[in-house]
Amino acid sequence: MDVDLRKLRYFVAVAEELHFGRAAERLFIAQPALSRQVRALEEELGVQLLRRDRRGTALTPAGAQLLEDALPLLAASAAMVRRVTAAATEKPVFTIGFMPGITVTPAVRALKERHASVSVRLVRTSWNDQVEVLSDGRADVSIVRLPVDQNGLTVQPLFTEPRLAVLPADHPLAGKPAVGVVDLADDHLLQDPEAVPEWRDVARELRTGERDDVPPLHSVEEKLELVASGAGICVLPLSTAAFYTRPDVVAVPVDDIGPSRVCLAWIAARRSRLIRDFAEVASALAPAAVR
């Protein structure tokens, strides 16, 4: 059986919104047409994907499984279209994703020396999409900070670097040459605690159940604004903290927090010479001082 990707895309919109009206607005189609397409998909598969009643719309077990499988399939389809379109251009295009604070210029120059005809593009990523840019085809390679989901990827270590606690300038620890993670136990972390397990293990707000949910922060600038306002602290890699300097926050070394591990990642199934060559030059030019 061949599944229609358009119907699959419509189903995913409804499954994510759990509301046909909102999904229809998101897809720019009429709600009755959307309902017909989802019903047709259910008939083709021979299963019920969504349950609708007065309380709203909910996924059935079959629907939950389809959503899990559909997301990477649709991403792979989008990636295929991007790569095929790029291959049709006269000048090859190679796109590199990179996290804030990481300098890619030396590796880009080295790649251009080997492949003068290649047009290199850069995509700035965040914690939320540093792998997603690979799965949906926006980037050929991505310079990532671990941890990431490595399923389906080749991940090549590049270097490690210390992580620093970024505090408001008037914080009691701001003038210290270094601190321990226990010194930060009473502070509010503006990140997912899983990203800093050392802090998670000693944090008072986790022990007492007083921690408020932290909304997703999509940029370093957002984190620094909140730190400067006194809303909490964050932990950043050395290169990122050094790049985003400002007078109202202070970065302090933390003796017992693990380093940030920087790697190069790409889709394991790809067999591109450009990827192979970039991986080679990126490894050779990785910062030796913090490797």
The domain locations on the chain are 5-78, 89-158+260-290, 163-253
Tell me, what DSSP letter sits at residue 252? E
Q: How far is residue 149's CA from residue 165's CA, in Å, rounded to a whole number? A: 25
Question: Looking at residue 24, what is its pLDDT?
Answer: 87
Phi-psi label, residue 46: left if phi above 0, alpha if psi -120 to 50, beta otherwise: left
Question: Looking at residue 225, what is its pLDDT?
Answer: 95
Q: Mapping DSSP to helix (H, G, I), strand (E, B) and coil, where does residue 235 land?
A: strand
Strands 234-237 and 249-253 come out as unpaired
Question: Looking at residue 235, what is its pLDDT?
Answer: 95
Supply the DSSP string of 133-187, one letter for each residue: HHHTTS-SEEEEES----TTEEEEEEEEE-EEEEEETTSTTTT-S-B-GGGGTTS
Question: Looking at residue 2, what is its pLDDT?
Answer: 76
Contact criterion met (CB below 8 Å) for 233 and 184: yes
Question: Looking at residue 219, what is its pLDDT?
Answer: 85
Question: Looking at residue 288, what is its pLDDT?
Answer: 61
Between CA 89 and CA 95, with CA 90 as vertex, the angle to 5 degrees is 60
Q: Mapping DSSP to helix (H, G, I), strand (E, B) and coil, where does residue 50 land?
A: strand
Question: Looking at residue 290, what is its pLDDT?
Answer: 47
Tell me, what DSSP letter sits at residue 251? E
Q: How far is residue 23's CA from residue 11's CA, in Å, rounded to a whole number? A: 9
In CATH, the architecture of 89-158+260-290 is 3-Layer(aba) Sandwich (3.40)
Question: Looking at residue 289, what is its pLDDT?
Answer: 43
Regions of the chain where pLDDT drops below 70: 1, 86-90, 288-291
CB atoms near residue 168 (< 10 Å): 20
**Letter string b/e over residues 193-202, b meaning 16 or more CB atoms within 10 A of that residue's CB:** eeebebbeee
Q: Do domains 5-78 and 89-158+260-290 have the same CATH topology?
A: no
Question: Looking at residue 287, what is its pLDDT?
Answer: 79
Question: Looking at residue 5, what is its pLDDT?
Answer: 85
In CATH, the architecture of 5-78 is Orthogonal Bundle (1.10)
Hey, CA dihedral for 73, 272, 128, 205, is it positive or negative? positive
Q: How many CA atoms lie within 13 A of 73 on its CB side?
A: 15
Write phi, then psi, for 270 (nearest 5 degrees).
-80, 145
Query: Which homologous superfamily is 163-253 in?
Result: Periplasmic binding protein-like II (3.40.190.10)
pLDDT digits (tens, 9 = 90+) for 32-88: 888 888 998 888 898 999 998 877 889 999 999 999 888 888 887 887 777 777 666
User: Closest by alpha carbon to 77, among 23, 7, 125?
Assistant: 7
Question: Looking at residue 88, what is its pLDDT?
Answer: 67
